[in-house]
Amino acid sequence: MEDAVSVAGAPNGKPADVSFIRKLLRMRETGLIAIILVLFIVMSFASPYFLTWVNMRAMVMAFAVEGIVVVGMTILLISGGIDLSVGSVTALAMVIAGWLFLNGVDPWVASAISIAACTAIGAFMGFFVTRVGLHHFIVSLAIMVIARGACLLGTGGRPLGLFTLPPEFKFIGQGSIGPIPIVIVIFLVVVIGFDFLLRRTTMFRKVFYTGSNEKAAAYSGIRTKRVVFFTTTLCSALCGVAGIIYMARFGSAQPTFGIGMELNVIAAAVIGGASLKGGSGTIFGAILGAVLLSVVSSSLALLDVSVYWQDIIRGSILLTAVSIDHYLVKKRA
């Protein structure tokens, strides 16, 4: 993964052209890798279970699906937006697909409909942001509550057991190719694919222009509203994809799934270098942020730290990362 990214990052292969900003980002990414490695070393001494295959697999599985949402969130943050509804929309994806399946719809068709519905929710938010002119924060806050309500309404508040899901469908969430779980394959495809798109395509360059300075982008003839509409929709669509994978993995649709997910996802993106002001961020960095949070969670669990402390520590990590980010931005200006 690292190889693919660094190749994409230096399209000219001219080391002399490495800019200050890129150095800075690379520094941040190297810094994250270093922190993660240190955690690994410390934990491998602290807990005999940490470096086991089972634990590694569990850790990767824990952030892989959420990682797909992190990708959507990072792109949205780069364009200057934010989405608080990711957890609810992911849950709603499970609920819609699960409900349709229980009512006799083919699971693949149900999944397609569910992802389409999530995309429509994103488009709906995009409409309120770009046409009505409301802030992302408010719109997604409202959708967060509405989608959660819809989940509870559709299920009566109880998880939908989907025991009859065909095995080939469950394979998405539970199967593996050789030693590698399918979930991780999907995750890597999404991450590498979007990382490439973000770095190299004109379409996604416009996302950076828009987030960096929306007015300047408009004054360069970029249809910034379309860009924001697109990134908002994309984020929800990726939530839909994540929801379906979760459903395949758990074999059930849980209406209360993903509460607080937005914190994790935004934290990962910001720790990885995305700015809440828009205009900067990388997929690679955001995924490293997700890895870090996941390693911390796993470590704390293995060390028998109380769940309540875990939240306090996660929150503190976020605060520290954002402070560093703010300091660096101020230093640059």
Partner 1 sequence: MKQIRQPVLFRNFEQIGLAMTDDVILKISNLSKSFGPVQALKGVDFELRKGEIHALAGENGAGKSTLMNIIDGILQPDSGEIYLDGKPVVISSPAVAQKLGIGFVHQEIALCPDVTVAENIFMATTNVSRSFLMNYRALEKRATEVLGQLGDIDPATLVRDLSISHQQLVEIAKALTLDCRVLILDEPTAALTEKEAQVLFKIMRRLAGKGISIIYISHRMVEIFDNCDRVSVFRDGKYITTRSVAEIQPDDVVNAMVGRVIDELYPRKQSDSEKTDDIILDVRNLSERTRFKDVTFQLRKGEILGIAGLIGAGRSEIVKGICRLEGDVTGEVSLNGRQLFLKTYRDSISEGIVYLSEDRKGDGIFLDMSIAANVSALKLEQVATPLGLIAGAREEAQAESLGKRLNLKYGALSDPVSSLSGGNQQKVAIAKMLSVNPKLIFLDEPTRGVDVGAKAEIHRILRNLASSGVGILVISSELPELIGVCDRVLVVREGRISGEVTGAQMTEENIMHLASVGAKATIH
> Contact between 331 and partner 1 (CB under 8 A)?
no
Answer positive or negative: Cα dihedral of 288, 290, 295, 300: positive
> Contact between 26 and partner 1 (CB under 8 A)?
no
> Contact between 208 and partner 1 (CB under 8 A)?
yes
Burial class of 140 by CB neighbour count within 10 A (0 to 12, 13 to 18, 19+): buried
Nearest alpha carbon to residue 162 among 213, 232, 95, 109: 95
Phi-psi domain of 273 (left: phi exceeds 0; alpha: psi -120 through 50; beta: other): left
Answer positive or negative: Cα dihedral of 268, 272, 276, 281: negative
**Closest distance between partner 1 and the C-beta of residue 79, in Å?**
13
Nearest alpha carbon to residue 257 among 247, 272, 268: 247
Q: Which of 219, 315, 319, 326 binds partner 1 (CB under 8 A)?
A: 219
Q: Is 134 helix (H, G, I), strand (E, B) or coil?
A: coil
> Contact between 201 and partner 1 (CB under 8 A)?
yes
Residues sharing a CB contact under 8 Å with residue 45, sequence separation 6 or more, in sequence order: none
Residue 252-281 contact track with partner 1, rule CB under 8 A, x = bound:
---------------------------xx-
Closest to partner 1 by CB, 210 vs 233, is 210
Pairing of β 180-181 and β 160-161: unpaired
Q: Which of 89, 94, 121, 217 binds partner 1 (CB under 8 A)?
A: 217
> Contact between 27 and partner 1 (CB under 8 A)?
no
Q: Is 97 helix (H, G, I), strand (E, B) or coil?
A: helix
**Closest distance between partner 1 and the C-beta of residue 259, in Å?**
34
Q: Which of 221, 304, 306, 307 binds partner 1 (CB under 8 A)?
A: 221
Q: Give Cα separations from 37 to 40, 41, 204, 272, 288 (angstroms).
A: 5, 6, 31, 16, 11
The alpha carbon of 59 is separated from its chain's Cα centroid by a whole number of angstroms, namely 16
**Closest distance between partner 1 and the C-beta of residue 240, in Å?**
25
Contacting partner 1 within 280-299 (CB under 8 A): 280
Range in contact with partner 1 (rule: CB under 8 A) among 91-99, 131-139, 184-192, 216-224: 216-224
> Contact between 18 and partner 1 (CB under 8 A)?
yes
> Contact between 327 and partner 1 (CB under 8 A)?
no
**Closest distance between partner 1 and the C-beta of residue 17, in Å?**
5
Tokens 């908002």, residue located = 232
Extract the tokens encoding 142.
């409202």
Q: Which of 200, 259, 312, 326 binds partner 1 (CB under 8 A)?
A: 200
> Contact between 233 and partner 1 (CB under 8 A)?
no
Q: Which of 109, 177, 216, 312 binds partner 1 (CB under 8 A)?
A: 216
Rounded (10°) angle between helices 182-200 and 283-302: 150
Q: Which of 215, 304, 307, 308 binds partner 1 (CB under 8 A)?
A: 215
Q: Which of 11, 48, 157, 193 binds partner 1 (CB under 8 A)?
A: 11
Give the Cα separation of 67 and 195 in Å (integer): 13
Give the Cα separation of 88 and 146 in Å (integer): 8
> Contact between 15 and partner 1 (CB under 8 A)?
no
Q: Which of 12, 103, 164, 306 binds partner 1 (CB under 8 A)?
A: 12
**Closest distance between partner 1 and the C-beta of residue 187, in Å?**
24
Closest to partner 1 by CB, 187 vs 208, is 208
Nearest alpha carbon to residue 68 among 204, 173, 176, 160: 173
Residue numbers at the binding site for partner 1 (CB under 8 A)? 11-12, 16-22, 200-203, 205-206, 208-209, 212-213, 215-223, 279-280, 332-333
